[in-house]
Structure 1
């Protein structure tokens, strides 16, 4: 059974250590491939300990092209070059 990470917000570490990860890559794919956005900046406002750092870490891995980390996740089946 996989463990739940409590002390890290690093996507690569979560995936590498086999921790449970709730897949939010499909909404991230929609965000990074949106063509009809008014501007180019996004303001992420969420409460403390709500996953902001993990989301940024996930985006970082996407933009670094670390596809191996996304095996089995929704974004693995989507085109995002």
Structure 2
């Protein structure tokens, strides 16, 4: 299932959309299934919120400091 979610998130990006996995929904799966009329035996691990990202919003300007690739990944020849 995670590969499906990853593929969906990547494809959204390719079309100019954004997506955020909502894993907290798994804690409220029973309530969500009732509200949506989904069979109670079905697993509900997470949802994905999607839409057009606001690239100018300050939250989308934040960048974390990352180690250079050669410091965190070993390369062998």
Q: Same fold (TM over 0.5)?
A: no
Q: Taking structure 2 as the reference length, what is the TM-score of the superposition?
A: 0.28
Structure (1 or 2) with the larger CA radius of gyration: 2
TM-score when normalising by structure 1: 0.27
Tell me which of the two structures has the higher relative contact order, counting C-alpha pairs closer than 8 angstroms and 6 or more residues apart.
1
